[in-house]
Amino acid sequence: MNEAHEPPPGPAITPSAQVSIVIIAFNDAVHVGDAVRSALAQETPGAAVAEVIAVNDASTDGTGATLDALARTEPRLRVIHRDENSGGCGTPRNDGLRAATGRFVMFLDSDDVLPPGAVRALLGAALVHDAPVAAGACVRRELPAHRDVPWQPELYAEPAVYDSPEAIAALLRDTLCVNKLYERSFLVKHDISFPDGRYTYEDFVFTAQVLAAAPRIVTVPDSVYIWHVRRSAAKQSISLDRKDVANWQARIEAHRASVRIFLEAGQQALADAAATKFLDHDLRMYVRELHTRSADYRAEWWRLTREYLAGFDEAAVRAAGAPGRWAARVVLASPAPRDLDRLTQLAARPARLLPPYAEAEGRAVWSADLPGVELEGLDAGPLSRLPVTVDAEPAVGTRGALRLRLHDLYGRLAAAGPESIDVELRRRRDDRRGPVHTAALTPVPAGSGPAVCWTAEVILDIAALAAPGSGPADPEAWDVTVRIGFADGSGIRTAPRAVGPGLGRRVLPSRQHAVLLVQPYATTGGALALRVAAGLRSLWRIAARRLRR
């Protein structure tokens, strides 16, 4: 039985209509219409979309009917209905790719959208530079807050053209397939497709095949994809559902397959860069969450990770940034999970190295019982790159005090002379800057020796963080950052670690709002953040939600 009903022939391709957009959908009737409309709306002079191919992966809700209804009024929309669900994203994308007739092809997920001008930006760059691959900036939009977080922004800050495998290695950090445009003949020539079936990180393998073929790649700073992240959804997307250790195992397998693709293509530099990226990005992301998992998850995660890292080349490990490199060596040196709080803080962005600051034969090491895990690089390099730790203990009463403690780091900070600390708050929803509070740092010496830490206290203007007006408002999240000022005018910016018994909800009196609800808390990575809401109606709404739970 043929699993996919073939669509009728597509419309004729014209010079200004060269792009096929493949949309995959499974049980997503609520969002698929927005995705299709965003693709069809890309028609602009010189960059028209020839066709949109929607692949319905045997949905059991109204997804198929929604697509058919849209196709009746839009001749450029072609719908493929699969008879059996594939279990993943690769097979329906392959179906759409085989059905495409445009010179170029793009991919779009049913719960995401293309911003206006995306096709124009990518197609224009590909044609001007004669590049079979064009890539652009992706934005992760956290819903329902509509908070936009750039994806790998450093890769798309400026237009660029990559002509060699060595240059392409920088793009390994962006494993997405959806923020790119591909010349279809290039994919066919190199037999590039997605893994079929339930393959959690199919993008990794597809992207590895593309990079291994060493095409010319052009990048543009334009936003070309909006990736919707719905963390409160009843069912998370396959890649975002990391609560089961099988997700980590799938990520390892996808990374292993990518490295194998590079090696088989003779691209040793790309294979090494992929290993380094795994430590800098993948390992750190999962280590940050490890303390939230069950004991069984941690044990199995640790076993899988040690087994995989044991095969890494030492040169690739040394090329990784200090946080990923040190975390990998701790895992390799210990047969069982350990030091989860320290590892969580080290894996955070920015990284924080917690005490104790052990030494062995004059070398900075992870701990006295792991003298082989050397923390190389701490004695050199710029001060601003150090994984400095500032403890922040909230004492939210009528004054809203925040007590700060800056830890020295093997004498590097003491030598520079810390003098002041600025505490800055930014609203997470839109990155709006809130009040900045400054305090002098007071050294706390160890006996008669040099300072081992410095302390300060600031009084937060919590009323200034409350939502304006007297109407009800859900709590606003505010992230806390600090800047440490030194005697020579230099500084270090980091996120302070949340500590102490003051974490938790408080109700404060307010002249302007009657009451303020303040909740200092630790993020998944251990940094301090605040939730603030104003007014009695907010208090009643929060209380009602707690009662319903």
Q: Between 506 and 295, name the one with better pLDDT.
A: 295
494: left (phi over 0), alpha (psi -120 to 50) or beta: beta
451-459 and 476-486: which strand pairing? unpaired
State residue 422 phi and psi, 5-degree precision: -105, 130
Name 227's bridge partners. 140
Q: How many CB atoms lie within 10 A of CB 2?
A: 7
Average pLDDT over residues 72-89: 96
Tokens read off for 401: 């005090």
Contact 269, 211 (CB under 8 A): no
Whole-angstrom distance, CA of residue 286 vs CA of residue 70: 40
Whole-angstrom distance, CA of residue 52 vs CA of residue 68: 13
Contact 421, 389 (CB under 8 A): no
Q: Is 489 exposed, middle or buried (0-12, 13-18, 19+ CB in 10 A)?
A: exposed
Whole-angstrom distance, CA of residue 59 vs CA of residue 26: 5
DSSP H or E stretch at residue 210 = helix 202-212
Q: How many CB atoms lie within 10 A of CB 512?
A: 12
* pLDDT, tens only, 237-270: 555 577 899 999 999 999 999 999 999 999 999 9
77-81 and 160-162: which strand pairing? unpaired
Measured between alpha carbons, how far is residue 331 from residues 324, 366, 472 in Å? 11, 11, 48
Measured between alpha carbons, how far is residue 474 from residues 170, 228, 233, 427 in Å? 41, 21, 18, 13
Average pLDDT over residues 291-303: 97
User: Strand, coil or helix: what is 105?
Assistant: strand
Average pLDDT over residues 132-159: 92
160-162 and 217-229: which strand pairing? antiparallel
In the sheet with 363-367, reading across from the earlier edge strand, the strands are 358-360, 363-367, 370-374
- Residue percentage of the chain with pLDDT more than 70: 88
497-498 and 390-395: which strand pairing? parallel
Average pLDDT over residues 541-546: 60
Contact 312, 328 (CB under 8 A): yes
Average pLDDT over residues 502-526: 83
Whole-angstrom distance, CA of residue 201 vs CA of residue 340: 26
- Is the pLDDT score of 80 beyond 60? yes
Contact 194, 205 (CB under 8 A): yes
Contact 231, 240 (CB under 8 A): yes
Q: What is the DSSP letter of 474?
A: P
Whole-angstrom distance, CA of residue 99 vs CA of residue 232: 35
Measured between alpha carbons, how far is residue 173 from residues 203, 279, 342, 347 in Å? 12, 11, 25, 17
* pLDDT winner (highest mean) among 34-43, 159-168, 252-261: 252-261
* pLDDT, tens only, 311-329: 999 888 899 999 999 999 9
Tokens read off for 92: 């329906």
Q: Between 342 and 5, name the one with better pLDDT.
A: 342
104-109 and 17-25: which strand pairing? parallel
Whole-angstrom distance, CA of residue 398 vs CA of residue 182: 59
361: left (phi over 0), alpha (psi -120 to 50) or beta: left
Burial track 328-366 (b if 16+ CB lie within 10 A, e otherwise): bbbbbbbeebbbeebbbbbbbebbbbbeebbeeeeebbb
Single out the residue of 76, 111, 327 nearest to residue 236, CA to CA.
111
Identity at 139, one-letter amino acid code: V
Identity at 298, one-letter amino acid code: R
- pLDDT the model gives residue 166: 83
Average pLDDT over residues 131-158: 92
Numbers of helices and strands, H then E, in the chain: 16, 24
First to last CA, the chain: 48
DSSP H or E stretch at residue 128 = helix 118-128
Average pLDDT, the chain: 89
Per-residue pLDDT band for 471 (boundaries 50, 70, 90) equals: very low
Q: Could you give the residue ranges of the DSSP H alpha helices within 354-511? A: 412-416
Whole-angstrom distance, CA of residue 155 vs CA of residue 153: 5
* pLDDT, tens only, 47-67: 579 999 999 999 999 999 999
Measured between alpha carbons, how far is residue 525 from residues 64, 166, 320, 389 in Å? 41, 33, 20, 13
* pLDDT, tens only, 184-238: 999 999 999 999 999 999 999 999 999 999 999 999 999 999 999 986 655 545 5
- Is the pLDDT score of 365 beyond 60? yes
